Amino acid sequence: MRILITGGCGFIGSNFIRHILDKYKDYKICNLDKLTYAGNLENLKDLETHPRYKFVRGDICNKKLVFDIMKHSNAVINFAAETHVDNSIKDSNEFINTNIKGTQTLLDAAKLCNIRRFIQISTDEVYGSTNKPSKEEDTLEPNSPYAASKASADMLARAYNVTFKVPTVITRSSNNFGPYQHPEKLIPLFTTNLLSGKKVPLYGDGLNVRDWMYVIDNCEALDLILHQGETGHIYNLGGGNEKTNFEITKLILRELGRDDSCIEFVKDRLGHDRKYSLNTSKIRKMGWKPKHSFESALKETISWYRENRKWWLRLKP
């Protein structure tokens, strides 16, 4: 199989590339990445000379470039996205361009290239705040510009499947964590702040609830969907670890030997969703379930940031 992966220098994409190349000895990957601030060549430095891996720097909005690469591919997995909610609140233009127009460009090329599988990577945030686990068929109620842009991309993927028979599949995952995650996100932000002797900025009362999944478990779910997922379907991917941001903060503090004096409560984010929750029975019926406990995965993640200070120091402002 020849797979085009977009945004492969980002957090989840780079972990997935490594997973696929390690597991399938006859698969080839082309990684198309614009290398915005969240795309980091260091994430895949060990694969630079890998015979089955190729990197191309470019924008998924570039129609000619996308077509020229995709015509040599069997499958496409679109990780490329602007993802930081705070940034979307400050200025949503790049989110509209990359997350919506970029996805449209990829789908147009997939239509022309007769792609056998197109996986659109989405998020639980498209469902909006909820008090019960969201199912794949639930109404989308995005509340941030970021979430709205991802919901729009989902609708495009669905429409291209219905209208043009592009073999799309959509995955919506909960909060991922693990190695190579940019230190703007909660777990690496708080971990690296504490390792730098700084306080951790906790929004509002800290009681917003998120479900957490170790990135390796997400990669294995995506692998299963790549090979066995049904065209036109949506799959929720979650770790089953619903915790408040305050609980996560306390766990990180404990692991690093700090106390509550390191917490700085800050003004809440605009439109901050109170809770995300996913019903993952559909993917679990296919035989997938997370292999890593939250506690052990969090310890491993914190250890990774301890041991890779050089990697994240250049990324922190």
Is there a contact between 89 and 145 (Cβ–Cβ < 8 Å)? yes
Whether 126 and 226 map to the same domain: the answer is yes
Is 125 annotated as catalytic?
Answer: yes
What pTM does this model have? 0.96
pLDDT of residue 184: 95
Kind of pairing, strands 242-244 and 209-214?
Answer: antiparallel
pLDDT at 231 over 90: yes
The residue from 127, 146, 214, 276 that is catalytic is 146
Tell me if 284 is assigned to some domain.
no
Band (236; pLDDT cuts 50, 70, 90): very high
What is the tally of structural domains in the chain? 2
Band (129; pLDDT cuts 50, 70, 90): very high
Tell me if 95 is assigned to some domain.
yes
Kind of pairing, strands 200-203 and 168-173?
Answer: unpaired
The residue-averaged pLDDT of 197-208 equals 97
Tell me if 152 is assigned to some domain.
yes
Tell me if 18 is assigned to some domain.
yes
Whether 30 and 168 map to the same domain: the answer is yes
User: 3-state DSSP call for residue 274?
Assistant: coil
Q: What is the pLDDT of residues 142-193, one digit of tens each?
A: 999 999 999 999 999 999 999 999 999 999 999 999 999 999 999 999 999 9
pLDDT at 79 over 90: yes
Tell me if 205 is assigned to some domain.
yes
Tell me if 287 is assigned to some domain.
no
Residue 225 sits in a domain whose CATH number is 3.40.50.720
User: Residue 296's domain spans which residues?
Assistant: 178-210+241-273+292-313
pLDDT of residue 243: 98
Beta bridge partner(s), residue 32: 6, 56
Is 146 annotated as catalytic?
Answer: yes
Whether 194 and 231 map to the same domain: the answer is no
Among the listed residues 32, 26, 28, the one whose alpha carbon sits nearest the alpha carbon of residue 13: 32
User: Residues 44-54, buried b or exposed e (16+ Cβ, 10 A)?
Assistant: beebeeeeebe
Whether 157 and 262 map to the same domain: the answer is no
Is 124 annotated as catalytic?
Answer: yes
Q: What is the pLDDT of residues 41-68, one digit of tens each?
A: 999 999 999 999 999 999 999 999 999 9
The residue from 125, 154, 211, 273 that is catalytic is 125
Distance CA(176)–CA(173), nearest Å, equals 8
Q: Which residues contact 54 (CB under 8 A, 6 or more apart)?
A: 28, 29, 30, 31
Tell me if 246 is assigned to some domain.
yes
Whether 166 and 23 map to the same domain: the answer is yes
Helix axes 103-113, 145-164, angle to 10 degrees: 20
Is there a contact between 10 and 38 (Cβ–Cβ < 8 Å)? yes
Residue 255 sits in a domain whose CATH number is 3.90.25.10
Distance CA(31)–CA(17), nearest Å, equals 8
Whether 153 and 266 map to the same domain: the answer is no
The residue from 33, 82, 108, 124 that is catalytic is 124
Token pair belonging to 227: 């090979």
- High-pLDDT (> 70) share of the chain, %: 100
Whether 194 and 138 map to the same domain: the answer is no
Whether 171 and 203 map to the same domain: the answer is no
Whether 59 and 188 map to the same domain: the answer is no
Is there a contact between 1 and 165 (Cβ–Cβ < 8 Å)? no
Whether 79 and 166 map to the same domain: the answer is yes
The residue-averaged pLDDT of 26-51 equals 96
pLDDT at 204 over 90: yes
Whether 16 and 143 map to the same domain: the answer is yes
pLDDT at 317 over 90: no
Tell me if 280 is assigned to some domain.
no
Whether 32 and 42 map to the same domain: the answer is yes
